[in-house]
Amino acid sequence: MDAVFAILVGIFFAGAIYLILSRSLVRMLLGIVLLGNAVNLLIFVAGRLTRAAPPILAGAPGALQGPLANPLPQALILTAIVIGFSMFVFLIVLGFRAYQSLDADNTDHMRLAEPDDQPQPPLGY
């Protein structure tokens, strides 16, 4: 089962990188969201997927009885989901404002909206 999730994480990362490198602003934003989901899934899989007992210890605090679920990756993912959603909302508003002021969704057209007296970044490599 871990191999399936490892392949899924790889596909998510590849799709995210592909979308981030595109020229459309909307595709870049979706790539950032997909990258965040890939990282969340990677953290979740790193915490070992198991159908073990919940991490509630009955009795002595030092006595571990059998395999237990690890609560740390779950807490990290919950925090990452909240931070990722707020960052995505901020980027949507920023992209919408850029689209309103420049009337362009393509980053090449956004580059043409820069002032003429400023040094231009390279258009090709």
Residue 56 has a pLDDT of: 63
Is residue 39 a contact partner of residue 77, using CB atoms and an 8 Å limit?
Answer: no
Residue range 2-50+70-112, CATH number: 1.10.287.3510
The residues with which 53 forms a beta bridge, in sequence order, are: 68
Q: For all residues of the chain together, what is the average pLDDT? A: 83
Residue 117 has a pLDDT of: 75
State mean pLDDT over 53-58: 62
The string of DSSP letters for 45-105 reads HHT-----B-S---S-TT---S-B--HHHHHHHHHHHHHHHHHHHHHHHHHHHHHHHH--S
Tokens of 64: 């571990």
Q: What is d(CA 9, CA 1) in angstroms, rounded to the nearest whole number?
A: 13
Q: pLDDT-based confidence at 66, cuts 50/70/90?
A: low
Residue 86 has a pLDDT of: 95
Tokens of 32: 């950032």
DSSP state of 113: T
State mean pLDDT over 29-36: 94
State mean pLDDT over 42-52: 75
Residue 118 has a pLDDT of: 72
Every domain of the chain and the residues it spans: 2-50+70-112
